[in-house]
Amino acid sequence: MRDEPRMVVAGATDVYVALNFGTLAPKRFLDIWAIDELRGISLSGDTLVIGALATYTDLIRSQHVVKRLPMLVEASQLVGGIQIQNRGTVGGNIANASPAGDSLPVLAAVDAVIVIRSAEGERRVPITEFYTGYRATVMRPNELIVAVEVGPVEGKQWFRKIGTRAAQAISKIVVAGVRASAPKIAFGSVAPTVVRVPETEKALAGGASIDEAALVLAREIAPIDDLRSSAEYRLQVSVNLLRRFWAETG
Ligand SMILES: Cc1cc2nc3c(=O)[nH]c(=O)nc-3n(C[C@H](O)[C@H](O)[C@H](O)COP(=O)(O)OP(=O)(O)OC[C@H]3O[C@@H](n4cnc5c(N)ncnc54)[C@H](O)[C@@H]3O)c2cc1C
């Protein structure tokens, strides 16, 4: 028991659900909520630095995020309800590693970098390399996420979440895109982890029509059936969302 690693608790909005359902194995916890140093949102040169403990409410209210990453504000406004937005943190969303996490496609579409720290030092991992499988990450038990860094984003940002209803719903599909000469597009809930769609991005960057790109996307992703949605529905909606992204950002 003494050697058992402690589970980090930030806003506890995911941890508490698991605790309540009796599905949580850890019995020792490390509450980091009071570490204000992990809460700030600032600019460091050209880089937007979001502390791991920044809540959705903090993101919505931050002028830096409003100016630099408006699609993260949009995503945050659609997370849970006000109570969850006040407690849920971006670090918790990243570490929880759900393929349906709403901030994840936004962060993946802008090549965000996760800053991880332990007593041994700090390392930076691009979000596209952070997830190794379903609910699995490169994090070691002695590491904390301390921040997420986002460089300047060129191009029009676009975000959509499809759920059973507008609020308090887990995403069936979530997508974020940046319309630039090299478009960047990331999907949540269509694979075991958040995914970029490099073949589709390449087709669009190379001048393919949206019809051609839609065919590429349909080959590139292979969503699954689960209790929230069918694979067929997810595939069709993903293609529809790609078309809408292109139409609305053109
Ligand atoms: C009613 C309800 C509605 C919700 N709606 C949504 C929604 O619409 N969209 C969505 O994406 N999510 C939703 N969630 C899930 C949850 O609110 C988010 O994932 C939130 O961002 C989790 O943050 P937290 O600080 O509460 O994490 P916690 O519950 O404290 O922790 C979650 C996991 O991350 C780890 N962790 C937390 N912080 C760190 C850190 N800094 N370093 C390392 N590990 C860490 C914990 O050990 C734990 O494994 C909802 C949850 C509830 C209960």
Q: Could you give phi then psi for residue 121, rounded to 5 degrees?
A: 145, -165
% of residues, the chain, pLDDT over 90: 86
Q: Is residue 68 classed as helix, strand or coil in its secondary structure?
A: helix
pLDDT at residue 4 is higher than 90:
no
Count Cβ atoms below 10 Å from residue 56 Cβ, excluding itself: 28
Nearest Cα to Cα of residue 78 among 192, 11, 186, 172: 172
Tell me, what's the pLDDT at 22? 86
Atom 43 in ligand 1: residue holding the nearest Cα = 144
More confident residue, 8 or 1: 8
Mutate to test the pocket of ligand 1, among 36, 89, 96, 161 (most ligand atoms within 8 A of CB): 96
Q: Which of 179, 160, 161 is nearest to 170 (CA)?
A: 161
Query: pTM for the whole thing?
Result: 0.96
User: Contact 117/91 with Cβ under 8 angstroms?
Assistant: no
E strands, 86-183, are 113-118, 121-126, 131-133, 136-137, 144-150, 156-162, 173-179
Q: Is the CB of 93 under 6 A from ligand 1?
A: yes
Does the CB atom of residue 84 touch ligand 1 within 6 A?
Answer: yes
With the most atoms of ligand 1 within 8 angstroms of its CB, the residue from 58, 84, 90 to mutate is 84
Which residue's CA is minimally distant from atom 28 of ligand 1? 12
Encode pLDDT of 8-22 as tens digits.
Answer: 999 999 999 999 988
Which atom of ligand 1 is closest in space to residue 9's alpha carbon? 30
Mean pLDDT of 54-58: 98
Is the distance from the beta carbon of residue 193 to the nearest atom of ligand 1 less than 6 Å?
Answer: no
| 90 Ramachandran zone, left/alpha/beta (phi>0; psi -120 to 50) | alpha
Residue 11's nearest CA partner among 29, 25, 26 is 29
Q: Kindly report, residue by residue over 71-95, the tens digit of the pLDDT.
A: 999 999 999 999 999 999 999 999 9
> Given this model, what pLDDT does residue 79 score?
95
Q: Is the CB of 15 under 6 A from ligand 1?
A: yes
Give dist(CA 248, CA 250) in Å, integer: 6
**Cα(96) to centroid(ligand 1), Å:** 6
Mean residue pLDDT of the chain comes to 94
Q: Is the pLDDT of residue 1 over 60?
A: no
Reported as a pLDDT band with limits 50, 70 and 90, residue 163 is confident
What pLDDT does 158 receive?
98
**In this predicted structure, what is the pLDDT of residue 166?**
66
